[in-house]
Amino acid sequence: MSTDWHILHNTTTTAALLRRLKSCLPFNKAAQEILNSTSEDLSRDAWLAVAWRQEWEIDGPSRIHRYIWDPGDGAIGGDDLPRRQWTTLNHLRTGVGRFETSMKKWGLADSAACECGDPEQTAEHVITTCPLYRPPSEASLFDLGPEMRAWLHDTELDL
């Protein structure tokens, strides 16, 4: 707000336009709400840390919460992997990806079944019970050792 040369200055300081659609959420309205809810003496980095931690705590328990206690610690390993391995790893870590259950839900597959015969291919199934694609262990998703790196290199799982 204080730097009038910034590309977002006018967008964040002018009034939000009227919405034509209920689903349309203008950026400047969200930016103004954020600016009004934070103190001016709070640095950008401090605000990001607080906002990230609040979102992390609101999100609730999940697989990734069991292995990452402080979301401010940064990347949890694997960022040196080739892209395909990195994305497969993160799809398994978060439980979000092109699992057959999701593909069926999105109308992109006829069946949610896993190739192993299980009626639903989810992250939970792949990690815990799939005889075709199961990684070495759930903990190895977050503590990348040589065995997990080899599994990521060799797996035919395509998420």
* Cα distance between residue 147 and residue 140, in whole Å: 8
pLDDT over threshold 80, residue 64: no
pLDDT over threshold 90, residue 42: no
Q: How many CA atoms lie within 13 A of 25 on its CB side?
A: 5
pTM of the model: 0.64
pLDDT over threshold 90, residue 78: no
What is the DSSP annotation of 92-150?
A: HHHT-S--HHHHHHTTS-S----TTS-S---HHHHHHT-TTT--S-SGGGTS--HHHHH
pLDDT over threshold 80, residue 20: no
